[in-house]
Amino acid sequence: MSDTLRADTQQTPIDGLLKREFFLIGCLGLAGLVVGGLLLGLQWLAQAGLIWAFICYQTKRRLPLNRPSPDAPLYKNLGWANRLTLLRAWFIAAVAGFLFQAWPEGPALSWLPGMLYLFAAVLDRVDGFVARRSGQSSILGNDLDTVSDAIGLAIASLLAFGYGQVHWSYLLFGNAYYLFHAGIMWRNSRGLPVYPLPPALHRRTWAGFQMGFLAVALWPLVRPPITTLGGFAFMLPAILGFLVDWLIVSGRIDRQAEAVNRRFQWLTDFSQGVFQPALRLVVVVTLAVSVLQSGLPLLPSNSPTWMNNIMVGGFILAGLMILLGVAGRYFSLIMISLLGWYYISNPLLPVDYILFCSVVWVLLLGTGRFSLWQEDDHWLNRYDGA
């Protein structure tokens, strides 16, 4: 929070109705965790309760920000968007309860950590839509959204590592937000300048994809090495993005300089005009090589014929749409799902590492120039309800 907003948090009186609503939500969340603790154990309750207490603390100190702008009056209630954000944070707290324990056993419990985080990831898209449609967007909501995103990624990545689903290096990304802001605090404490970070649409989109990957990585259906490879593929562009952002805020890259802007524009043009179209071609070529090396049928011989037909047809359709640049990011997601299904019963060949990383990077970056239809880019980058 800025100094102005910190002053607001200390001086603005909070309406009694707003306080009571927040207290009620906190108590309901705690009661839900107690019920869960009866089923999942004391360690789960203690860990989940600690994270829920942290979320409640962060919310309480930001209640004076329950307004659309610093000079606007306070809303008298949290609004449905903030309530949904707190529900999302509750799901994240519930996921934290599973840390430092073995993967739950049983047909239902083994899916629970991943499904809880999936619910949290879905609500990340819903709460903003509700805020804009209800006309009650607030600084509080933006702050809580950031807090929930950061702690959710940290918890989910730590849990995925604990389950052996990702390499330890993925923890660098899971905690990148905290490392980034720790670096800013370190510079502030030494009187070093901190430069503003220009807005970028990819940060929000990539964070959403990371949440989706982690939710799937916490499902018992998928196992290494595909989850380890997926962690690397999703992490690498995001880590590079954080490094560039750090170079900007620390002043090593001056985004106000004309020469720097020209270099960034050249990189953007190169990515869209050369790298992203090349990725589309790499996806199709490596997919064909992988299928030829594996042979048909793609699934084990005891699998129904219709399953093999769906997989073959899905690969052909998704590969063609990616090559043509027709909703390439949508079809990249479909191909990732098909590959995840395929690798359950088939080994990863060397060409598959290139294939899977290329598909993930098309999903993250888009299909670039020479694409026939890129409406999926618009949907991913838009703010629903605006």
pLDDT digits (tens, 9 = 90+) for 122-155: 999 899 889 989 889 999 999 999 999 999 999 9
150 contact partners, CB below 8 Å, separation of at least 6: 177, 178
Token digits for 180?
């980034």
3-class secondary structure, 326: strand
| Distance from the first to the final alpha carbon of the chain | 24
| Two tokens, residue 297 | 């049928």
Q: So what's the pLDDT on residue 385?
A: 53
- Under 8 Å between Cβ of 100 and 197: no
DSSP code at position 274: I
Q: Which two tokens stand for residue 328?
A: 């390439």
Q: Per-residue pLDDT for 91 more than 90?
A: yes
Angle, helix 328-345 to helix 305-324, in steps of 10 degrees: 140
Nearest to 150, CA basis, from 132, 174, 119: 174
In tens, the pLDDT along 39-75 reads 999 999 999 999 999 999 999 999 999 999 998 999 9
Residue 338: how many other CB atoms lie within 10 Å: 22
Helix residue ranges, H only, 135-249: 139-162, 170-174, 176-189, 201-217, 226-249
How many Cβ atoms from other residues are within 10 Å of residue 161's Cβ?
A: 18
Q: Report d(CA 310, CA 322) in Å as an integer.
A: 18
- As a whole number of angstroms, the distance between CA 32 and CA 86 comes to 13
A 10 A CB-CB count for 186 gives 10
Average per-residue pLDDT in the chain?
A: 92
Q: How many CB atoms lie within 10 A of CB 320?
A: 12
Mean pLDDT over residues 327-337, rounded? 96
The Cα 203–Cα 367 span in angstroms is 18
Residue whose C-alpha is closest to residue 91's, from 148, 25, 20 = 148
Determine the pLDDT at residue 294: 86
Asked if 85 contacts 139 with a C-beta cutoff of 8 angstroms, the reply is no
Residue 253: left if φ>0, alpha if ψ -120 to 50, beta else—which one? beta
Read off the pLDDT of residues 187-221 as tens digits, 9 standing for 90 and up.
Answer: 999 999 999 998 887 888 899 999 999 999 999 99
